[in-house]
């Protein structure tokens, strides 16, 4: 192997490592490609290898994240690191944001006062429930490792759209009372502020870790590894089962070699703490997490489009075009909430 | 010597894991046993499997899954073409590093720092 070929090879490995570490930091593909492109330009201009021109991959990634605000922001908003238990509490501020958006839309559509009917209330509450359900329930089911179940839930939510519209025709449409529109807006603002404060102060605490495992309880250790890889890092069931089986086999062989007179190490001794081991495994293979995130985004978009269709249909059915205005706003909020909620939840320790 | 100093072993662990698998594709535990036999101490699963995953992610290793006979299945790792070329380069660099270190340790001096070249007559 000549010198040029050797340098090209070294550069290939350097770029692979930077790519891998940027993905592990949660940097989106487009920003990652920008960073890699800039690195390649610097390397070419320098005339030396990437490692000589740009330093070790880990240092370069740290510098890139610090110098590239967009990359840092995307990394902070990375949703990975949530457990299924985190999702319900993230729905609490979402309700407040939804009320703010609905209140603002009503203010624009109907002025300072409105006369809601039972039908209006039915539609409003139903649409709000669908927003929260589309955001929370499929994610909960999928993070539990049941991707097929999550698909069914999403289809079920889409079926709920025409059902909600049809059911609204059975609800009386007589005005209930004159209500100042700002009440909805104000309630939403107060709810949002209280929820955000609760998140910040820890009153809505992040899902706690499970109680400490008994060091000798290997079955619990492997169960917890499976749960954390699926829940916190979003790995697929097949991938997780493979990793767990590999670790179990390893442990069996270590014990077999130690003989019958010695008990052999527990899983916690051989692999360390579950959270730490899962973190190391997940960081080593960021592509497993990236695939799951992309899939969730696609399904979220589908849910958002379905919801928009619902609200437009409602507007046409009720001749109340305020709902048509609500639709795009709700969709925008829904898409924004995922990243903001994830950021509030924080990343694994 | 029973085992090399832990710091030395840690520094070259990913390279010697690659080298072990370049000799023969194998599973994680066999790699750990082989390294133990070469004086690298007991490599625990907590260090080994994340490293194997990283090397696979970097394209230096490939893996395939086989169902176990009478027990859990196992993943077998092999060095890719990229990994073999990487290993050749690492081996050459390690030779240079070892030569320099040996010269220093034997009191024969190493190569000059770049900024000193041309100023000390060498």
CA distance A329 to A266: 53
Per-residue model confidence (pLDDT) at position A68: 56
Burial of A325 (0-12, 13-18, 19+ CB in 10 A): middle
Per-residue model confidence (pLDDT) at position A134: 72
Does residue A12 sit at the B interface (CB-CB below 8 Å)?
yes
Which of the given ranges, A177-181, A211-215, A273-277, B84-88, has the highest pLDDT on average?
B84-88
Per-residue model confidence (pLDDT) at position B83: 93
Residues of B in contact with A243 (CB under 8 A): 49
Average pLDDT over residues A110-121: 77
Task: Output the CA–CA distances (angstroms, integers) from residue A87 to A150, A332, B65, in the order listed.
Answer: 14, 19, 34
pLDDT above 90: residue A64: no
Task: Output the CA–CA distances (angstroms, integers) from residue A3 to A10, A48, A106, B92, B113, in the order listed.
Answer: 10, 12, 70, 11, 21
Of A246, A281, A286, the CB nearest to B28: A246
Give B26's strand partners.
B77
CA distance A327 to A131: 11
Q: For chain A, what is the mean pLDDT?
A: 71
Does residue A52 sit at the B interface (CB-CB below 8 Å)?
no
Per-residue model confidence (pLDDT) at position A333: 60
CB A87 within 8 A of CB A142: no
CB contact under 8 A, A285 and B65: no
Per-residue model confidence (pLDDT) at position A29: 66
Please choose, from the candidates B68, B32, B14, B33, the residue with its C-alpha nearest in 3D space to the C-alpha of residue A241.
B68
Confidence of residue A19 (pLDDT cuts 50, 70, 90): confident
Higher-pLDDT residue of A112, A346: A112
ipTM tops 0.90:
no
Q: For chain B, which ranges sit under pLDDT 70?
A: 1-2, 67-73, 109-122
List b or e across A57-73, with b for residues whose CB sees 16 or more CB atoms inside 10 angstroms: beebbeebbeebeebbe
Per-residue model confidence (pLDDT) at position A200: 67
Longest C-alpha distance within chain B, in Å?
Answer: 70
CB contact under 8 A, B58 and A16: yes
In a mutational test of the B interface, the residue from A48, A277, A284 whose CB has the highest number of chain B CBs within 10 Å is: A284
Residues of B in contact with A281 (CB under 8 A): 49-50, 53
Of B72, B75, B85, the CB nearest to A1: B85
CA distance B92 to A273: 37
In a mutational test of the A interface, the residue from B44, B45, B47, B65 whose CB has the highest number of chain A CBs within 10 Å is: B45
pLDDT above 80: residue A165: no
Higher-pLDDT residue of A175, B53: B53
- Judged by phi (left if over 0) then psi (alpha if -120 to 50, else beta), residue B59 lies in left
Q: What percent of chain A has pLDDT over 70?
A: 60
Which contiguous run of DSSP H or E holds residue B64? strand B61-66
CB contact under 8 A, B46 and A286: no
CA distance B25 to A233: 29
Q: Provide CB contacts within 8 A for A5, sequence distance 6+.
A: none
Per-residue model confidence (pLDDT) at position A297: 58
Residues of A in contact with B34 (CB under 8 A): none
**Three-state DSSP class for residue B62:** strand
Does residue A254 sit at the B interface (CB-CB below 8 Å)?
yes
Please choose, from the candidates B14, B21, B63, B64, the residue with its C-alpha nearest in 3D space to the C-alpha of residue B43.
B14
CB A183 within 8 A of CB A99: no
Burial of A183 (0-12, 13-18, 19+ CB in 10 A): middle
Chain A contacts in chain B segment 76-95 (CB below 8 A): 82, 85-86, 88-89, 92
Per-residue model confidence (pLDDT) at position A67: 62
Distance from CA of A244 to the nearest CA of B (A): 9
Least confident of A30-39, A192-201, A207-216, B38-47: A207-216
Distance from CA of A66 to the nearest CA of B (A): 24
pLDDT above 90: residue A103: no
Per-residue model confidence (pLDDT) at position A293: 55
Average pLDDT over residues A151-168: 76
Does residue A298 sit at the B interface (CB-CB below 8 Å)?
no
Question: DSSP code of A175?
Answer: B
Confidence of residue A209 (pLDDT cuts 50, 70, 90): very low
Of B45, B48, B86, the CB nearest to A9: B86
Q: Provide CB contacts within 8 A for A150, sequence distance 6+.
A: A138, A139, A141, A142, A299
CA distance B55 to B34: 18
Give B78's strand partners.
B62
Does residue A8 sit at the B interface (CB-CB below 8 Å)?
no
Higher-pLDDT residue of A239, A233: A239
To 10 degrees, what angle do helices A29-46 and A57-67 make? 120
Higher-pLDDT residue of A137, B85: B85
| Angle of CA points A101, A102, A104, to nearest 5° | 65
| Angle of CA points A132, A138, A139, to nearest 5° | 90
């Amino acid at each position: 192997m000549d010198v040029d070929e050797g340098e090209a090879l070294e550069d290939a490995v350097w770029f692979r490592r930077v790519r891998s570490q940027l993905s592990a930091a949660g940097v989106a593909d487009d920003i990652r490609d920008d960073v890699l492109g800039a690195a390649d330009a610097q390397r070419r201009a320098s005339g030396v290898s990437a490692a000589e021109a740009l330093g070790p991959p880990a240092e370069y990634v740290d510098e890139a994240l610090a110098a590239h605000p967009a990359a840092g922001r995307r990394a902070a908003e990375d949703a990975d690191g949530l457990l299924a238990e985190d999702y319900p509490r993230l729905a609490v501020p979402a309700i407040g944001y939804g009320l703010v958006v609905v209140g603002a839309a009503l203010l624009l559509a109907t002025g300072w006062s409105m006369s809601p009917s039972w039908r209006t209330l039915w539609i409003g509450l139903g649409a709000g429930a669908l927003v929260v359900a589309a955001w929370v329930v499929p994610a909960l089911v999928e993070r539990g490792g049941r991707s097929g179940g999550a698909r069914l839930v999403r289809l079920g939510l889409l079926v709920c759209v025409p059902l909600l519209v049809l059911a609204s025709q059975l609800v009386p449409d007589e005005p209930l009372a004159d209500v100042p529109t700002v009440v909805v807006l104000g309630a939403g603002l107060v709810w949002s502020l209280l929820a955000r404060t609760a998140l910040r102060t820890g009153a809505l605490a992040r899902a706690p870790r499970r109680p400490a495992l008994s060091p000798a309880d290997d079955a619990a250790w492997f169960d917890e590894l499976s749960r954390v890889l699926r829940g916190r890092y979003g790995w697929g069931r097949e991938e997780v089962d493979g990793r767990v089986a590999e670790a179990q086999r390893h442990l069996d062989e270590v014990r077999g070699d130690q003989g019958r007179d010695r008990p052999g190490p527990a899983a916690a001794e051989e692999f360390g703490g579950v959270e730490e081991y899962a973190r190391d495994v997940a960081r080593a293979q960021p592509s497993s997490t990236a695939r799951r995130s992309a899939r969730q985004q696609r399904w979220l978009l589908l849910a958002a489009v379905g919801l928009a269709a619902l609200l437009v249909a409602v507007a046409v059915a009720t001749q109340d075009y305020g709902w048509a205005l609500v639709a795009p706003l709700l969709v925008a909020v829904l898409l924004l909430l995922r990243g903001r909620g994830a950021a509030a939840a924080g990343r694994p320790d | 010597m029973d085992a090399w100093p832990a710091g030395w072993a840690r520094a070259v662990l990913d390279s010697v894991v690659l080298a072990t698998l370049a000799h023969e594709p194998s599973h994680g535990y066999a790699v750990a046993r082989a390294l133990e036999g070469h004086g690298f101490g007991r490599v625990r699963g907590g260090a080994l499997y994340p490293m194997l995953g990283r090397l696979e992610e970097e394209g230096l290793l490939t893996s395939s899954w086989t169902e176990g006979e009478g027990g859990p299945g196992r993943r077998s790792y092999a060095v890719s073409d990229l990994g073999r070329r990487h290993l050749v380069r690492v081996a050459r660099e390690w030779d240079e590093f070892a030569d320099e270190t040996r010269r220093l340790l034997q009191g024969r001096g190493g190569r000059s720092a770049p900024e000193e070249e041309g100023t000390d007559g060498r």
